[in-house]
């Protein structure tokens, strides 16, 4: 689909990658850009409309979808990351419930709430923000990786069902980004503006998946090798 004239809704669009998506959509000619945010009063960016949204709250999601009946591109970006002591951490179930509430059920809930609108306004699209953590193992990110893996699986089921309704689905996989989420983590990071631009270019080219950095490309390429990144994250891939 093309961004020129599109009406875009970005969840968690008040900062980080979400705000980069909102600004990039405007640059590409979107006629309206909404950001779904938990504190709309604190958001003031020219030409971007804030709508109250908490993806963990079913009523909030229904209200946002009802208020934005002109949307034809939904970007499921809102997400949280928490660190643990790994797969055997006794707190992992509680932590997983918190992370899944946002990163998985939040994506499912928001997608379902906007589905009729997107179908009515087709050609339409959904971009789901995933992660390279889907394919590479890091015990301290066990719950986060599981949530993104689940969201990836949902993305792939969804694509098959919405295509006949004129709704394309793009999965964005990316490694570390220079946002609040990784503040204090001293590793090379991608610029969220570059990543949003790469994702929207891929969408405009009709792609179903975008790997937004070289590391993510290598991780995915390793999956069918003798040392896939999910078994040997310690080896070069
Ligand atoms: N940063 C990375 O290295 C990285 C790598 C791969 C993928 N990602 C993914 O990229 C996406 C954006 O992350 P980011 O790096 O931009 O993180 P961020 O700077 O921490 O921003 C997260 C955004 O999600 C919003 N959010 C969180 N929970 C929400 C909820 N329940 N309802 C509505 N909004 C909610 C936050 O809103 P508040 O301001 O109200 O908290 C904020 O706008 C996430 O899905 C993340 O998993 C990030």
Can you give the pLDDT at residue 234?
87
User: For the range 176-180, what are the long-range contacts, defined as Cβ-Cβ under 8 Å and sequence gap of 24 or more?
Assistant: 177/16, 177/17, 179/15, 179/16, 179/17, 180/15, 180/16
24 is written with which tokens?
């990039």
Pocket test for ligand 1, best of 78, 82, 103 (most atoms within 8 A of CB): 78
Q: How many CB atoms lie within 10 A of CB 186?
A: 6
User: Domain extents for the chain?
Assistant: 11-185+195-218
Separation between Cα atoms, residue 45 and residue 126, nearest integer Å: 23
174 lines ligand 1 (CB under 6 A): yes
Supply the pLDDT for residue 68.
98
Binned average pLDDT, 10 residues per bin, the chain of 237 residues? 98 98 98 98 98 98 98 99 97 98 99 98 98 95 98 98 98 98 96 98 98 97 95 86
Interval between CA 53 and ligand 1 midpoint (Å): 13
145 lines ligand 1 (CB under 6 A): no
What is the whole-number distance in angstroms between the Cα of residue 208 and the centre of ligand 1?
A: 22
> How many Å from the N-terminal Cα to the C-terminal Cα in the chain?
33
Rounded to the nearest angstrom, the distance between the alpha carbon of 138 and the centre of ligand 1 is 19
Whether CATH 3.30.1330.60 fits 11-185+195-218: no
DSSP state of 56: T
Question: Coil, helix or strand for 9?
Answer: strand
């Amino acid at each position: 689909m093309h961004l020129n004239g599109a009406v875009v809704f970005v969840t968690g669009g008040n900062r980080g990658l979400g705000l980069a998506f909102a600004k990039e959509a405007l640059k590409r000619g979107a006629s309206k850009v909404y950001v779904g945010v938990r504190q709309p009063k604190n958001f003031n960016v020219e030409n971007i409309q804030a709508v109250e949204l908490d993806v963990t709250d079913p009523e909030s999601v229904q209200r946002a979808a009802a208020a934005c009946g002109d949307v034809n591109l939904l970007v499921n970006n809102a997400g949280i990351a928490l660190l643990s002591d790994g797969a055997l951490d006794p707190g992992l179930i509680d932590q997983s419930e918190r992370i899944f509430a946002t990163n998985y059920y939040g994506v499912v809930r928001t997608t379902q709430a906007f589905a009729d609108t997107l179908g009515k306004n087709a050609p339409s699209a959904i971009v789901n923000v995933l992660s390279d953590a889907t394919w590479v193992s890091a015990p301290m990110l066990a719950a986060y990786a599981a949530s993104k893996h689940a969201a990836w699986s949902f993305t792939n089921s969804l694509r098959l069902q919405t295509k006949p309704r004129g709704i394309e689905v793009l999965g964005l996989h990316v490694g570390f980004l220079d946002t609040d989420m990784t503040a204090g983590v001293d590793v090379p990071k991608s610029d969220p503006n570059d990543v949003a631009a790469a994702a929207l270019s891929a969408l405009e080219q009709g792609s179903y998946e975008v790997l937004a950095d070289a590391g993510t490309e290598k991780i995915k390429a390793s999956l069918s090798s003798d040392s896939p990144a999910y078994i040997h994250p310690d080896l070069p891939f």
